[in-house]
């Protein structure tokens, strides 16, 4: 059995120093990236909203609500005296969905202030993305799956809206129709009659 010797070149002067400097630079860069990544995870709502305010198409109102028009609607906007028919999906900043409904009536003044303000910006058929800061959402209170001091993100579509007065009139007409007929009677023109 024979062993073949492989000659090793001598290490050039200063190579070992450069190697250690490279290892130290990589370690510092990795530590810096880890720190920066941790800052993103623990970013305050204010820091997120400040950064988001510079995103393309994002509008910030005086109150601090941020919104982006995804699809503009047409016609007038609802007021606090209206009930809106909306579809929405609510998420936290990390993407966790906390509520979703494709179509539900909501009194415009019966929701968190940021959602109400956002609805009043929209027109029928419009689709908006809302970023609601904690002070316009649930603030320092946790609400079910929503932690305290959370920025709420909503994708909202405004299907329609009616005034409370119109809704009351519709309800009264329905009650009159039901109350004016004998029990079990079917009005003329109804299928199956």
User: For the domain that residue 148 is a member of, what is the CATH number?
Assistant: 3.10.50.40
As for how many domains the chain has, the answer is 1
**Using an 8 Å Cβ cutoff, are 148 and 139 in contact?**
yes
For 54, the domain range is: 47-169
pLDDT of residue 188: 46
Residue 61 lies in a domain: yes
> Measured between alpha carbons, how far is 72 from 125 in angstroms, rounded to an integer?
7
Does a structural domain hold residue 54?
yes
The tokens describing 67, both together, are 């919104």
Helix (H, G, I), strand (E, B) or coil at 8: coil
Query: 3-state class of 72 per DSSP?
Result: coil
**Cα gap 35→16, rounded to integer Å:** 29
77-96 per-residue burial string, b: 16 or more CB within 10 A, e: under 16: bbeeebbbbbebbbbeeeee
The answer to whether residue 187 is domain-embedded is: no
- Report pTM: 0.69
- What is residue 28's predicted lDDT score, i.e. its pLDDT? 78
Task: Tell whether 184 is covered by a domain.
Answer: no
| Per-residue pLDDT, 178 | 83
- Stretches where the chain sits below pLDDT 50 are 39-41, 185-193
Question: Is residue 85 included in any domain, yes or no?
Answer: yes
């Amino acid at each position: 059995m024979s062993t073949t010797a492989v000659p090793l070149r001598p290490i050039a002067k200063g190579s070992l120093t450069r190697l250690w400097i490279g290892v130290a630079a990589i370690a510092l860069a990795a530590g810096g990236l880890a720190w920066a990544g941790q800052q993103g995870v623990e970013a305050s709502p204010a820091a997120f909203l400040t950064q988001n305010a510079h995103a393309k198409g994002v509008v910030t109102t005086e109150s601090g609500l941020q919104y982006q028009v995804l699809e503009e609607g047409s016609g007038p906007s609802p007021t606090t005296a209206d009930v809106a028919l909306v579809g929405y999906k609510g998420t936290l900043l990390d993407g966790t969905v906390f509520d979703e409904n494709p179509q539900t009536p909501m009194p415009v003044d019966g929701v968190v202030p940021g959602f109400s303000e956002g609805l009043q910006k929209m027109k029928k058929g419009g689709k908006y993305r809302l970023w609601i800061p904690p002070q316009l959402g649930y603030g320092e209170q946790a609400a079910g799956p929503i932690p305290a001091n959370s920025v709420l993100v909503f994708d909202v579509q405004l299907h329609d809206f009616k005034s409370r007065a119109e809704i009351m009139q519709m309800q009264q007409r329905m009650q009159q129709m039901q109350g004016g007929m004998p029990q079990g009677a079917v009005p003329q023109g109804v299928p199956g009659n």
